[in-house]
Amino acid sequence: MATAERIVQREIEAVLSQRRDKDIAISPSSLLRDELGLTSLNMIEILTNVCECAKIELTSLSDVDLSRLKRVSDIISLVERREISRV
């Protein structure tokens, strides 16, 4: 599992562990809202923590970036693109 994928997985698991439905399977194809039941507040928490871990400025994410986040893989791709652009 790639670093970006591990970070995203860990942060989503942390948010889901605070809820009663802890046994939800998380995969890159999981829909953030429909399958995982993440709220806007959950997404802010996840993105804040993912950006901190990946050393990405949260404020560098545009509205377009955020509007494209539908699946777990979308967050992973966003992190990977940002990591590559820093190199």
Q: What's the pLDDT score for residue 85?
A: 67
The label of the residue with tokens 């901190």 reads 52
Pull the structure tokens for residue 1.
């599992």
Please give the C-alpha separations between residue 40 and each of 20, 36, 45, 66, 70, in angstroms, as whole numbers. 18, 12, 9, 11, 12
Please report the domains of the chain, with CATH numbers, ordered by start residue.
3-86 (1.10.1200.10)
pTM across the whole model: 0.89
Q: What's the pLDDT score for residue 87?
A: 54
Read off the pLDDT of residues 34-67 as tens digits, 9 standing for 90 and up.
999 999 999 999 999 999 999 999 999 999 999 9
Q: What percent of the chain has pLDDT over 70?
A: 92
CB atoms within 10 A of CB 25: 7
Please give the C-alpha separations between residue 3 and each of 19, 35, 57, 83, in angstroms, as whole numbers. 25, 23, 17, 10
